Amino acid sequence: IGGWAFSICSSLTSVTIPNSVTTIGDNAFMGCSSLTSVTIPNSVTTIGSEAFSDCTNLQKVDIGNSVKTIGEFAFNKCTNITQISSEAVVPPTCESGVFFYINTSKCKLIVPKNSLDAYKQAYQWKDFLLIEGSTTGITNTVYNKAGLADVYTIDGTKRLSKASTDEINALPKGVYIVNGKKIIIK
């Protein structure tokens, strides 16, 4: 998708990006103030600078597993984003200000479970306070920024205190309660 392709299309409410797209150009959707969600397909490797900047009603962003680079200020001033999902196992490289003006203390970041630690250490991704690892089980596990959580058995017995992600993932098979959420270790 070329640079400035849909820029300032204020009545654009949804977009379907086809699997043939590999790059979302600079400013491609900048100022699309009615856009509420976007799914970036697995074919995309690069999101350009300010690609979705000033999409003030954007609430949910799903980033496919092939994105390697996100340009500067790509989601700048997207103040209503409440959830970002990234399927990339390796956190995409973020140039400066990618998530500028997004409330990273309230916005949920969902990433592959085995990549939680990588996202917690990656530039700009680590700014999110609520990072959720997607699992193959019934639900997702929520960890706080420090990656520490109390773990209980299903009958309410405390199993671990302030456990790290690795400690939780090393638990024997079973059902546990972590930060009030049910998880299944298979």
The pLDDT of residue 34 is above 60: yes
- Nearest alpha carbon to residue 144 among 176, 91, 108: 108
> What global pTM score does this model have?
0.73
Domain ranges of the chain: 1-134, 146-186
Q: Which residue would you say has higher pLDDT here, 85 or 173?
A: 85
The pLDDT of residue 33 is above 90: yes
The pLDDT of residue 147 is above 60: no
Q: What is the mean pLDDT of the chain?
A: 89
Residue 64 neighbours by CB under 8 Å, 6+ apart:
39, 40, 41, 42, 43, 44, 87, 88
Q: How far apart are CA 24 and CA 3, in angstroms?
A: 7
Domain 1-134 part of CATH 3.80.10 = yes
The pLDDT of residue 49 is above 80: yes
Which pLDDT score is estimated for 135? 61
Over residues 99-142, the pLDDT tens digits come to: 999 999 999 999 998 899 999 999 999 999 999 988 633 334 44
**Which amino acid is present at 170?**
A
Half-sphere exposure of 133 (CA within 13 A, CB side): 26
Q: Which two tokens stand for residue 33?
A: 């103030």
| Cα 159 to the center of its chain, rounded Å | 29
Which pLDDT score is estimated for 145? 47
Q: How far apart are CA 80 and CA 103, in angstroms?
A: 8
